[in-house]
Amino acid sequence: MKKKHVIWGCTGIGCLSIIATCLIVLLYFWAIADAFDYLSKPESRRSFYDSPSKIEEAIGIRLPDFSIKEYRPQDTLHFTGDFADTLIIEFHEKLPEDLFCNFELKAGTIGKTAQEDFLRPNLSVDSVGLRYSNPYVGGHEEFIDITLWRDSLNGVIVYGKW
* Average pLDDT taken over every residue of the chain: 76
Low-confidence winner among 16-20, 51-55, 65-69, 110-114 (lowest mean pLDDT): 110-114
Domain that holds residue 126: 42-161
Q: What pTM, to 2 d.p., does this model score?
A: 0.65
| Res. 114: pLDDT tops 50 | no
The residue that leads in pLDDT, 137 or 118, is 137
101 HSE (CA, 13 A, CB side) = 3
Number of domains in the chain: 2
Do 74 and 34 belong to one domain?
no
One domain for residues 62 and 115 = yes
Would the pLDDT of 156 be above 50? yes
The answer on 89 and 151 residing in a single domain is yes
| Residue 155 · residue 145 · CB < 8 Å | no
49-84 burial by CB neighbour count: b if 16+ within 10 A, else e? bbebeebeebbeeebeebeeeeeebeebeeeebbbb
Same domain for 52 and 89, yes or no, is yes
Let me know whether 47 and 92 are in one domain: yes
Identify the H or E element spanning 64: none
Strands 142-149, 66-72: pairing kind? unpaired
Question: pLDDT tens for residues 100-109?
Answer: 888 888 766 6
The separation between CA 32 and the C-alpha centre of its own chain, rounded to angstroms, equals 17
| Among 14-23, 36-45, 57-66, the least confident range | 36-45
- Same domain? For 48 and 30 the reply is no
72 and 7 housed in the same domain:
no
